[in-house]
């Protein structure tokens, strides 16, 4: 398991990226380390190509975890990255604007770049 942690620019919090062959083993390790229950149903983890979670640490810090396998499609990465962007905006109380989507595009590209870098590192 590879776990990379990045400070989220502008919006705050951290983005955690986990590259793993076994979501079940990795989620158990991460849950133990952070003392937060992320996933009640391990069955979904066995079927998925990728998973994303948002959570707050016991001391109130905002975190997003994206879990991917070493071979993951760009479409799947973008899918999970958009979940992350939505959670960032919700956390900050930001409403999307169809007239100026540059903030969304910027942070979406940043998340995708971080996930791809973690996979190919």
Q: Over the stretch 104-119, which tens digit does the pLDDT of each residue have? A: 999 999 999 999 999 9
Q: What is the pLDDT of residue 40?
A: 66
- Distances from the Cα of 80 to the Cα of 35, 60, 87, angstroms: 23, 23, 11
Mean pLDDT of the residues in the chain:
93
**Tally of structural domains, the chain:** 1
Q: What is the pLDDT of residue 44?
A: 74
In CATH, what number is assigned to the domain containing residue 73? 3.30.460
pLDDT in tens, 6-42: 999 999 999 999 999 999 899 899 999 888 888 767 7
Q: What is the pLDDT of residue 39?
A: 72
According to DSSP, the β-strands at 62-68 and 2-7 are unpaired
CA dist., res. 121 & res. 117, Å (int) = 6
Supply φ then ψ for residue 93, to 5 degrees: 75, 30
């Amino acid at each position: 398991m590879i776990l990379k942690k990045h400070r989220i620019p502008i919006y705050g919090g951290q983005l955690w990226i986990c590259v793993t062959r076994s979501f079940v083993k990795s989620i158990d390790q991460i849950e133990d380390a952070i003392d937060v229950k992320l996933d009640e149903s391990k069955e979904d983890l066995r079927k998925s190509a990728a998973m994303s979670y948002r959570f707050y640490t016991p001391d109130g810090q905002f975190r997003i975890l994206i879990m991917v396998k070493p071979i993951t499609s760009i479409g799947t990465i973008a899918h999970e990255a958009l979940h992350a962007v939505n959670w960032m905006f919700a956390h900050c109380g930001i409403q999307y604007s169809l007239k100026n989507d540059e903030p969304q595009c910027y942070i979406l590209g940043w998340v995708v770049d971080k996930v791809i870098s973690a996979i190919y590192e």
